[in-house]
Amino acid sequence: MLRWTVHLEGGPRRVNHAAVAVSHKVYSFGGYCSGEDYETLRQIDVHVFNTVSLRWMKLPPVRTGGREHVREVPYMRYGHTAVLVDDTIYIWGGRNDTEGACNVLYAFDVNNHRWYTPKISGTVPGARDGHSACVLGKSMYIFGGYEQLADCFSNDIHKLDTTTMSWSLINATGTPARWRDFHSATIIGTKMFVFGGRADRFGPFHSNNEIYCNKIKVFDTETNSWLNTPSTPLLPEGRRSHSAFSYNGELYIFGGYNARLDRHFNDLWKFNPEVFSWKKVEPKGKGPCPRRRQCCCMVGDRIVLFGGTSSVHSDLSNSVWILDQSNSVWILDQSNSVWILDQSNSV
């Protein structure tokens, strides 16, 4: 029998963090929470959620014996990405209020919880945040984001070959996806599916004329080309800072935010790349409240979703404020389509 389970303790409060699933555990890196100190430069924090025991654990800070070792550990940041290749998690990009954006590649060994900075070559992408990162084979693809030095949105694709540790800027053909940040890019087969994000109506520079595209753009990694795609009759609202994942060859998106509508979402949509069509999914049970900037990881047949920011309306003062979701982990069981809320904590 499908049911909700609720644990009253709270987990870590995180917004704009990055997470990746490793076996039955979810590793969460950095992010921020309102009220915390982000002026002081410090190591990125790592929280681990065990999907079997439903408990959080915070890894202890890395001991550094000198300045050289300090550089091996990323500083606290938000708007970065994390991907898993074999037993290594690669952290790239993101920004900090003190240091700004970053383009150093950091590696985290999941077996011994050791940080290091691999020696790299090639054309390194410019420092940015709000980009996407996805993995195909041994390669990581970086798309879009907001570049700090150029002070504009990007629509470039960069590829990191983790076997040679070499970066390359892909000379893509076809009509590219629009310049954007805080979108999603998901690999299905050999294609990268880009959805949503924040763009500017007039080009790559931010002019406060934001637009939120709700059409899928497809990049073929075999031909290095953007594909022409058919239109779809039913579309989700455009949004940024949503979550996306693939399951059984289909793309799912959850949540996000549209500033033009001033609206947070908690809808779940499924995209079928074979017939190029969207379908709204209605899981059983009570799901998460509308939110953005959360993390969403696939663990077996379950989706683990946690963190993010929501808007809260007060009937007494008739005002709205933003709330960082403090202590909720939601699990969506794909095999039974049920949301489960957990609020356990052992941080």
| DSSP state string for 127-193 | PEES-EEEEETTEEEEE--EETTTTEEB--EEEEETTTTEEEE---BSSPPPSBBS-EEEEETTEEE
Per-residue pLDDT tens digits for 255-286? 999 999 999 999 999 999 999 999 999 888 77
81 falls within a domain: yes
Averaged pLDDT for residues 85-104: 95
Averaged pLDDT for residues 142-155: 98
Number of domains in the chain: 1
> For residues 157, 162, 167 and 171, what is the CA-based torsion angle, rounded to 10 degrees?
-40
Per-chain mean pLDDT for the chain? 89
Per-residue pLDDT tens digits for 149-174? 999 999 999 999 999 999 999 999 99
Averaged pLDDT for residues 42-49: 94
78 falls within a domain: yes
What is the per-residue DSSP string for 284-310? BS--PPSBBS-EEEEETTEEEEE--EE
The domain containing residue 95 runs over which residues? Answer: 17-118
Pairing of strands 139-143, 191-195: unpaired
Residues in the chain: 347
103 falls within a domain: yes
Question: What would the two tokens of residue 42 be?
Answer: 């410090």
Helical H runs in the chain? 67-70
- pTM, two decimal places: 0.93
Check pLDDT > 70 for residue 59.
yes
Per-residue pLDDT tens digits for 100-126? 999 999 999 999 999 999 999 999 999
Please, are residues 180 and 227 in contact by the beta-carbon 8 Å criterion? no
